[in-house]
Structure 1
Amino acid sequence: MAYSYYAYTPSHTAALVFAILFSITNAATVAQWIRYRAWVWLVMVVAGFMESLGYIVRTVSTKNPDKKGLFVAQFCLIVLAPVLMAAACYVIFGRIVYRVVPVESRTTKFLWVPPGFITTIFVTCDIVALLLQLGGAVLVSGTQPTQSNVQQRIQTGKNIALAGLAIQIACFGFFSIIALRFHFISKQFDKRLADKTTDETTEDEKYIMVNETQRKVLKNWRPLLRVINVACILILIRSIYRVCDFALGKSGYLEQHEWPAYVFDAAMMLPTLAIFVYWHPGKYLPYLGFRLPKSRRENL
């Protein structure tokens, strides 16, 4: 019998189903990205491509379990894609803060992090976590039992990946608390926005006066903040699962059975991608270019 990199018999059907679902959802993500010209949302588009490609490669890998390249590719793509999804949440939250919080309230005391570096701080943590997880994932998934130092390589790879996951959970957990807290404390700005709303306001969009100039604000931004909070919960569940997976190692229950990977990873990340298709940031925020406009310091 040929050697298999899987500790179980991988399901071809399950991999194919998720490959199709992720591909469809990512196609919608790309369409919305172009429709709303939400260029900063590229990070979520890339994450969607990684999930889609990951499960497509896994579908092929289930028929070729002895192929190291296929196994490593699908493992790395699936493990790393959620890191970019977390980064997308950071970016959009930063844009909400810019759009909603007046200049005088954009303080570290109010937001718990330096307001001008919200995205930079958390994305930097994400990059460090991604690189560590990538290195650990490659080392663990690519190790064969025939290698002389197999146990040392697996343990080293596991420790590296765990360090990356620990950084991700710590930073993303802190971010989740900040986002949830902001959901409540930002209500103090609702009256201020309402007072500035002009007569041109319609059901789908409203206009406010900023420095004697009329500016458009698309719909109510609160649904988008709620979606970010839901995405945080899903990503945290998946990250905790991966920590347990790496901690238990190849002989652990999570590595010996396939269903947890689909329940606690695939089934968490698919809705994370899907909910942003319906509640796309472009529906709620008027500007999603790569750089904030020069007027970013103005009050709304």
Structure 2
Amino acid sequence: MSDGFAGWKAYFYDPSMAAAAIFIVLYGIVTGMHTYHMFRTRTWFFIPLVLGGYFEFIGYIGRAISSSQTPDWTLGPYIMQSVLLLVAPALFAASIYMYLGRIIVLVRGEKFSLIRVGWMTKIFVAGDVLSFLMQASGAGLLVTDSQQTGENVIVGGLFVQIAFFGFFVICSFIFQRRISSNATALENASTTPWLKHLYALYGSSILILIRSIFRVIEYLQGWDGYLLRNEAFIYVFDALLMWLVMLIFVVIHPSEVNCLLGRGRVMTTKGGLSISEIAV
């Protein structure tokens, strides 16, 4: 590595240009769609997810640049991809946390929530910010003489993310069970598409949890570990899973919930054309 540290390598394989290019295109398309829908529908609480999409897009550009430099890698592209790809899911999580609060308010189910809705978003987003900062600072330490410290900080940040996300999924499930076991609440909720959006939330949350667990195992194995020495894993358990998270919210866009709350517009489909309906 031309401007790295003695005995330190950016990659233990030759980064694939083809794989990076595929995900540059995939993330470019899905992030562009989310950007358009966000502004068109005024779904502002999805700003973190959209920013995360740009992080992923730029991160894979970094991997593509690295692949063109093999084996004389420079620090710039490596830092670009290592930091942005590591922290992007924390931005996805921030939007997902705010999404649940809106679903609960939509069905007037505040009393069925394990945590007060007003506190729920604050608690989970605070944990998400902590996880984000830990992972970002740890990624920065990876390219210094404090590499081991960097790995430890990243693992700590990932554990924080897993703990908060796991508890978040439990809170979501308890809320659903409480609503479903109350006939009156269930009847009131049935007039809204709440379950569809809750399932989208579950699906995206599980994908992020799987990715975070993979990253923990990856860093716990260390630089000599099997996962870090085989590029295919980062594309299967990170790139693909995070792209599917963004795809889920293209198919089931949260603007519908926002619109029903009177906070924006909803993207619908009529005759194969995407239009927006202004909430009354």
TM-score bracket, shorter-length normalisation: 0.7 to 0.9
Aligned twin of 2:47 = 42
Aligned twin of 2:229 = 256
1:94 pairs with 96, 101, 104, which one? 101
Task: Give the SS at the match of 2:68.
Answer: coil
1:111 pairs with 110, 113, 120, which one? 113
Aligned twin of 1:247 = 220
In the TM superposition, residue 11 of structure 1 has moved relative to its aligned partner by 0.5
Task: Give the SS at the match of 2:227.
Answer: helix
Contact 1:54 1:77 in 2 (8 A): yes
1:23 pairs with 10, 25, 28, which one? 28
User: What percentage of residue pairs aligned between the two structures are identical?
Assistant: 36
1:8 pairs with 6, 10, 13, which one? 13
Matching residue's letter, 2:169: S
In the TM superposition, residue 193 of structure 1 has moved relative to its aligned partner by 4.8
Residues 154-201 of structure 1 deviation map (CA, whole Å, 9 limit, x = unaligned): 21111111111111100101101111232332233231356xx7xxxx
Aligned twin of 2:85 = 78
Distance 1:112 1:46 in 2: 29
Aligned pairs for 1:260-275 within 5 A: 260-275=233-248
Contact 2:59 2:82 in 1 (8 A): yes
Contact 2:102 2:257 in 1 (8 A): no
Aligned twin of 2:208 = 235
1:167 pairs with 143, 146, 160, which one? 160
In the TM superposition, residue 278 of structure 1 has moved relative to its aligned partner by 1.3
Matching residue's letter, 1:78: L
TM superposition outliers: structure 1 runs of 4+ over 3 Å: 1-4, 287-290
Aligned pairs for 1:139-150 within 5 A: 139-140=141-142, 142-143=143-144, 150=145
1:130 pairs with 126, 129, 132, which one? 132
Q: Higher mean Cα deviation, 52-61 or 240-249?
A: 52-61
Contact 2:109 2:179 in 1 (8 A): no
Contact 1:122 1:171 in 2 (8 A): yes
| Number of residue equivalences | 253
Matching residue's letter, 2:138: G
Distance 1:192 1:253 in 2: 51
Contact 1:41 1:288 in 2 (8 A): no
Matching residue's letter, 2:99: I
1:284 equivalent to 2:241? Answer: no
Distance 1:256 1:192 in 2: 53
Residues 176-228 of structure 1 deviation map (CA, whole Å, 9 limit, x = unaligned): 1111232332233231356xx7xxxxxxxxxxxxxxxxxxxxx5121111000
In the TM superposition, residue 41 of structure 1 has moved relative to its aligned partner by 1.2
Distance 2:210 2:198 in 1: 19
Distance 2:24 2:96 in 1: 23
Task: Give the SS at the match of 2:224.
Answer: coil
Matching residue's letter, 2:25: I
Aligned twin of 1:225 = 198
Distance 1:192 1:76 in 2: 45
Query: Which residues of structure 1 form unaligned runs of 5+?
Result: 144-149, 198-218, 291-300
Distance 2:22 2:194 in 1: 34
1:190 equivalent to 2:186? Answer: yes
Distance 2:189 2:15 in 1: 54
In the TM superposition, residue 288 of structure 1 has moved relative to its aligned partner by 7.6
Residues 42-97 of structure 1 deviation map (CA, whole Å, 9 limit, x = unaligned): 11111111111111221112112411011011111101000111111101001111
In the TM superposition, residue 289 of structure 1 has moved relative to its aligned partner by 5.2
**Cα distance change, pair 111–255 in 1 and its aligned pair in 2 (3 A):** same
Distance 2:19 2:151 in 1: 26
Contact 2:103 2:257 in 1 (8 A): no
